[in-house]
Amino acid sequence: MMQSSSDASQRIARISGHLDPQNLQMEDAGTLRRLDCRAKGGASGFKVAILGAAGGIGQPLAMLMKMNPLVSVLHLYDVVNTPGVTSDISHMDTGAVVRGFLGQQQLEEALIGMELVIIPAGVPRKPGMTRDDLFNINAGIVRTLCEGIAKCCPNAIVNLISNPVNSTVPIAAEVFKRAGTFDPKRLLGVTMLDVVRANTFVAEVLGLDPREVDVPVVGGHAGVTILPLLSQVKPPCSFTPKEVDYLTDRIQNGGTEVVEAKAGAGSATLSMAYAAVKFADACLRGLRGDAGVVECAFVASQVTELPFFASKVRLGRTGVEEIHPLGPLNEYERSGLEKAKKELATSIQKGVSFIRK
Task: Give the whole-angstrom CA distance, residue 237 versus residue 232.
Answer: 8
Residue 53 known to bind ligand: yes
- Nearest alpha-carbon partner for 162 in 117, 206, 228: 117
Domains of the chain: 46-190 (3.40.50.720), 191-356 (3.90.110.10)
The span from the CA of 213 to the CA of 206, in Å, is 10
| Residue of 43, 318, 322, 320 whose CA lies nearest to 155 | 318
Question: Of these residues, 18, 75, 91, 221, which one is catalytic?
Answer: 221
Distance CA 290, CA 65 (A): 19
Is 345 annotated for ligand binding? no
- Does 178 count as an annotated binding residue? no
Strand partners, 227: 218
Orientation angle between helical segments 270-288 and 192-206, nearest 10 degrees: 110
Lowest-pLDDT range of 11-15, 166-170, 249-253, 339-343 = 11-15
Q: Per-residue confidence at 350, pLDDT binned at 50, 70, 90?
A: very high
Residue 28, pLDDT score: 38
CA distance 285 to 126: 34
88 is in an annotated binding site: no
221 in active site: yes
Question: Is 272 annotated as contributing to ligand binding?
Answer: yes
b/e code 7-30 from CB counts within 10 Å (16+ = b): eebeeebbebbbbbbeebeeeeee
HEC letters along 38-101: CCCCCCCCEEEEEECCCCCCHHHHHHHHHCCCCEEEEEEEECCCHHHHHHHHHCCCCCCEEEEE
With CA atoms as reference, report the closest residue to 133 among 353, 308, 350, 355: 350
> pTM for this one?
0.89
Condensed to tens digits (0 to 9), the pLDDT of residues 296-339 reads: 999 999 999 999 999 999 999 999 999 999 999 999 999 999 99
pLDDT band at 137 (very low <50, low <70, confident <90, very high): confident
What is d(CA 198, CA 246) in angstroms, rounded to the nearest whole number? 11
Closest Cα partner for 162 from 175, 179, 152? Answer: 175
Distances (CA, A) of 101 to 11, 21, 83, 183: 22, 9, 7, 26
215-250 pLDDT tens trace: 999 999 999 999 999 999 999 999 999 999 999 999
Contacts 24+ apart (CB under 8 A), 262-269: 263/127, 264/126, 264/127, 266/56, 266/124, 267/56, 267/124, 267/125, 267/126, 268/193, 269/55, 269/56, 269/57, 269/60, 269/124
